[in-house]
Chain A
Amino acid sequence: MLLSKATADEVIDSLVRPIARAVKDDRVTTLAATLARLEATGTLANPVLFAAPETGRYARRTLWQDVDGKFVVVAITWAPGQSSALHDHDGLWGAEIVVGGTMRETAFQLVDRDRAGRYRFLRGASRDARKGTVGTLNPPLEYHEFGNAGPTTAHSIHVYGGTLDRCRAFTADTDGWWNANQVDLRRHG
């Protein structure tokens, strides 16, 4: 593949500038359109951007962290069957685009919190996200499950409007409520 001859740094350089411009506009509509355009021109599907699949957990690689902390670009490689737990994005906005494989996203809406610090969600419809599908995060719409629902390795690019050092993953309790667990993302590349 000709494209992969470019180094990862060169590819990252070519996508960071348009992404930075889109982030500055501060609208998910603009960021989604920019990611779709970069995907359509083949910039995002370059294998040099992605880590090799890992067993057990999806492989996450930070491609770019803006020095002012305005945005971060992450590439994720998903082996078949790998999925994130229900999680939030630390209140950040952003957009995520599938660049290969078939992902499935299930959005959740936060509707309640109890005194014990547990959460209740409304589960939204699941949708398949194929190459070119963009999803957006706009708090309070920042809770979802996202995973590889296809038979092959899947790849996705994620842009968040800030520094995503941590998030919360939720585990279901027996009574319909969910417990939140802090996740330190700095330990996951």
Chain B
Amino acid sequence: MAETTVLVAGGGASGVLLAARLVQRSESVRVVLVDPHDELGRGMAYATACEAHLLNAPAARMSAFPEEPEHFVRWLAERHPGRFAATSFVPRALYGDYLVAIAARAHDTAGSRLHHVRASATNVVLRGAGVHLTCSSGERIEGDAFVLASGNAAPAWWPGMPTAAPGAQRVFASAWDERALMPQHADEPVLLLGTGLTAIDAVLGLHQNGHRGPVWMVSRRGLLPHEHRLLDAPPAAAHPDGDAIEDLLGYARMLARDARGATTWRAAIDGARPKVNRLWRSMSVRDQRSFVRHALPYWNVHRHRMAPETAKIVADFIATGRLRMLAGRTGEMTSGATVVRVPVRLRGSDEEIVLDVARVINCSGPEHDVRKLANPLMQGLLAQGSLTPTALGIGAEIAPNGALVDRDGVASERLFAIGPVRFGALIETTAIPEIAVQARELADALSPSTKRSPSSTRS
């Protein structure tokens, strides 16, 4: 039987779930996973060692295999008996262990059919009937198909953030930088740029590392994520009939007015999840732009909620005054020898306050404009015209089957993407349930026994 070689750039959750599927799907598939880490599976999201960094969904919704919904819960019960229930929000580090175990099992099944190259993918080109990949190690690999599985991009630049200043580093471009959450003094004031889940992670990480000083959080709207609430007997998931995402928000608001609305809007927004991508794809660019501008921040705080344990800690920090929230725009920051000075124009007023803090940490979400990414692999694909920014300017054009769409609007038969890289083309594509389904469908499409033209593959 003819062998198919699939090259995968990125060995985090997306890359590993795809690789595990591919090697299981058919004995005639070879997978080369290109990732600089020694261990496959953790990626950026599950690499944290902080016990307080929890999953943002209960264990029951975190199976890596959609056809085995209990898979993660069973793994937890075997590895950590009596510690967790299906409703528990477990440490992300444990989920990292789970993905590492999946990668290890895939390796055992596949033997030499799964190969890990410890390097970064730096360039990919179409060559003949296949693809040709160059790695940071200088290694060159040939394959039949290439899958971009690079996960979330680095954080977007925050306006007014100064570039490197002399002396001790005080401004950190990413909360994922290990040093960012290591305060020099336990009582130093810290400013977090952003009020989303990354900023909450930073609050917990600073505390874990011994920080006890004041923490400010700022964003334009000052919106904190909502909180998960799980009942013994959850309300039936509601499926709104609306045909636009604005309608979903309206529907959720309507449900929130019920006596038990505090839990039912959650069921509505989660119940709508399977149809959100279809709605998004059906919207005009104008409507998408309007949604991104006016509704996305609200959508995000309702959809991407924090664990109840996390809410408990954050509530305590806010109640005791250690954590303070600001809604406003930051001005030009100046980094001096001992402090960073940050002007903040408060939302809905002309008042400007000035914060002097010892440390500023950028906690904004991933950069969604692919043209601004420093990643050479993405830049190469853009330059070749194999990767095309969406008309909206968020993410890249990607066909429903995951194929990259080139600058002429043609879906590739050899270049694909999985996971957070599809954001923009899709709106639900960063969480495990969606990535697990994408992995299954992409593995089916790339396996020789079912190989069909990608355009006929179901999305």
Residues of A that sit less than 8 Å from B by CB: 26-29, 31-33, 35-36, 68-70, 91-93, 95, 109-112, 120, 122, 132, 134-136, 138-141, 161-163
Q: Closest Cβ of chain B: how far from A67's Cβ, in Å?
A: 11
**Cross-chain contact A28 with B227 (CB below 8 angstroms):** yes
The answer, yes or no, to whether B243 is at the interface (CB within 8 Å) is no
Question: In the complex, A44→B348 CA distance in Å?
Answer: 31
Most chain A CB atoms below 10 A, which of B226, B262, B316: B262
Besides the contacts A36-B318, A91-B231, A140-B232, what 12 more A-B pairs have beta carbons closer than 8 Å?
A26-B226, A27-B311, A29-B311, A32-B318, A91-B232, A93-B229, A110-B87, A111-B82, A111-B85, A138-B311, A139-B231, A140-B87
Q: Closest Cβ of chain A: how far from B32's Cβ, in Å?
A: 41
Question: In the complex, A177→B148 CA distance in Å?
Answer: 49
**Cross-chain contact A162 with B259 (CB below 8 angstroms):** yes
The answer, yes or no, to whether B308 is at the interface (CB within 8 Å) is yes
**Cross-chain contact B83 with A91 (CB below 8 angstroms):** no
Q: Closest Cβ of chain B: how far from A138's Cβ, in Å?
A: 4
Q: Closest Cβ of chain A: how far from B199's Cβ, in Å?
A: 13
Q: Which residues of B contact A91 (CB under 8 A)?
A: 231-232, 263
Question: In the complex, A138→B244 CA distance in Å?
Answer: 31
Residues of B that sit less than 8 Å from A by CB: 82-85, 87-88, 224, 226-232, 256, 259-260, 262-263, 308-309, 311-312, 314-316, 318-321
Q: Closest Cβ of chain A: how far from B53's Cβ, in Å?
A: 17
* Set A29, A36, A68, A110: member contacting B224, Cβ < 8 A: A29
**Cross-chain contact A138 with B319 (CB below 8 angstroms):** no
- A122's nearest neighbour on chain B, judged by CB, is B83
**Cross-chain contact B308 with A140 (CB below 8 angstroms):** yes
User: 26 A–B contact pairs at CB < 8 A?
Assistant: A28-B227, A29-B227, A32-B315, A36-B320, A70-B259, A92-B262, A93-B227, A95-B315, A109-B85, A110-B85, A111-B82, A111-B84, A111-B88, A112-B82, A112-B85, A120-B82, A122-B82, A132-B320, A134-B316, A134-B319, A138-B308, A139-B232, A140-B85, A140-B87, A141-B308, A162-B262
Most chain B CB atoms below 10 A, which of A27, A35, A109, A162: A27
**Cross-chain contact B232 with A28 (CB below 8 angstroms):** no
Q: Which residues of A contact B311 (CB under 8 A)?
A: 27-29, 136, 138
**Cross-chain contact A139 with B230 (CB below 8 angstroms):** yes
